[in-house]
Amino acid sequence: MSAQDKTTSKNEAFDADAASMLVKEMKGTFASGKTRNYEWRVSQLNALAKLADDHEQQIVDALLNDLAKPPLETVAYEIAMLKNSCKVALKELKHWMTSEKVKTSLTTFPSSAEIVSEPLGVVLVISAWNYPFLLSLDPVIGAIAAGNAVVLKPSEIAPATSSLLAKLLGDYMDNSSVRVVEGAVDETSALLQQKWDKIFYTGNGRVGRIVMAAAAKHLTPVVLELGGKSPVVVDSNINLQVATRRIIAGKWGCNNGQACISPDYIITTKDYAPKLVDALKTELEKFYGNNPLESKDLSRIVNSNHFARLTKLLDDDKVSGKIVYGGEKNESKLRISPTVLLDVPRDSLIMSEEIFGPLLPILTVDKLEESFDVINSGPKPLAAYIFTTNKKLKEQFVMTVSAGGLVVNDTTLHLAVHTLPFGGVGESGVGAYHGKFSFDTFSHKKAVLYRSFMGDASIRYPPYTNTKMRLLKALIGGGILGIIRALFGWS
């Protein structure tokens, strides 16, 4: 049985031997030069776009099955964004592949130089369950555009989408160069034992550390797209209704808070907090009704383990009595209503880890500038948001707060701007992608210097005379006049 057969058969164990065979086959394909070809890259990108076009309803159904994700969210945030990534890559690919001419120095005169983008080889993409279609295939677009062979490991926590991806990529893609491995911990462990040319992982920090440790054994470079507690700073001089709607869209309208860049907590002043809470209540009821547990516009919690984790955050004694809206739960349906908590202690459980769910704590400060110290006192988040019309406060926020990305007067939308890098910093991630940044993350920037047989300077070669020393120092110091003086021994 070939490695390709083993990756698509759920009845056969995918172990380290099968993973080794798979990587060997893929390396053979890459060595043939097939994936370096511009036409091959274009054909595979077109195939991905066609896959999304042809099977929109199946994709929507799979995400309904895995997460009860509203169809509009699937179409807008997964299918449309994937198709846009394909479109950008197809439009810009020739430009991305063109070598970059760079200046040379007097030391190498006469010469020319360029930076050539070359594919890394065979890469592994391990994706996440919360946006299981987009987060699986968006990195694959970058890997293909850069000319790599790629193995995709979808998340087993979204089994319907994982199964659909395995089938569709098998039907639409070049299986000698693009492969899917389904499975859970054992299969992922088998893959991580292999030597890859790059590993791209999306998920949590705990597993991110496991991935990085495995990659270190082979000195394999990694991209880690993780998460963190993404804050929202809310000033008082704003359009409160617009700001509130945008916070809700970023929190509950993004997979019911199960997104790496969802607002994790709000910081506002003590005086303004009551107005903000009232506005949140009003807009949440408009969006999800009086019984949000029955709303078809909210995703459910992905599984019982995450439901129990979120319930534990709410059951913490330190947040008892802090719920000002929501808090309803239905364990059998894995649903938790949008929940707002006010004045939660900073040492509470809900503030000690990424929430990744429909709970939104609000912290209060005396002066809004204090919020920057609160944010910077913890690990660097994947995203940070501020709502204000104060120019000085905006500038201070951008200069002071360190995060993977910042948005002023909105939430999460930087994800959709392909000219911006998307990635974390510190504990929220390593590396970035989207648009050309995806191409670059799966490419090696190879330095190339071209010289002729002219200009063979004797200063490079023994014997090392005093004249050559003077010339060397003149070269180091720079300036044509200094070189002339050195050559002729002038003082």
Catalytic residues: 225, 260
Residue 43: strand pairing partners: none
Residue 151 C-beta-side C-alpha neighbours within 13 Å: 33
**Closest residue by Cα to residue 358 from 408, 313, 318:** 313
68-71 LR contacts (CB < 8 Å, sep 24+): 68/298, 68/299, 68/300, 69/255, 69/299, 70/296, 70/297, 70/298, 70/299
Mapped to the 3 state alphabet, what secondary structure does 110-129 carry? CEEEEEEEEECCEEEEECCC
**Percent of the chain that is helix, strand, coil (3-state, to 5):** 50, 15, 35
Q: Residue 150's closest CA among 137, 132, 160? A: 137
The crossing angle, in degrees rounded to 10, of helices 134-145 and 80-97 is 10
Q: On the CB side of 9, how many CA atoms lie within 13 Å of its CA? A: 12
What are the residue ranges of helices labelled H in 70-204?
71-74, 80-97, 134-145, 159-172, 185-192
Cis peptide before 463 (omega within 30 of 0): yes
The DSSP call for residue 377 is T
Q: How far apart are CA 188 and CA 170, in angstroms?
A: 19
**Which H helix or E strand runs over 400?**
helix 391-400
Q: Strand 429-430 and strand 222-225: pairing?
A: antiparallel
Dist CA 126 CA 138 (whole Å):
12
Cα 490 from Cα 374, distance rounded (Å) = 63
| DSSP element (H, E) containing 243 | helix 240-251
Number of H helices, E strands in the chain: 18, 20
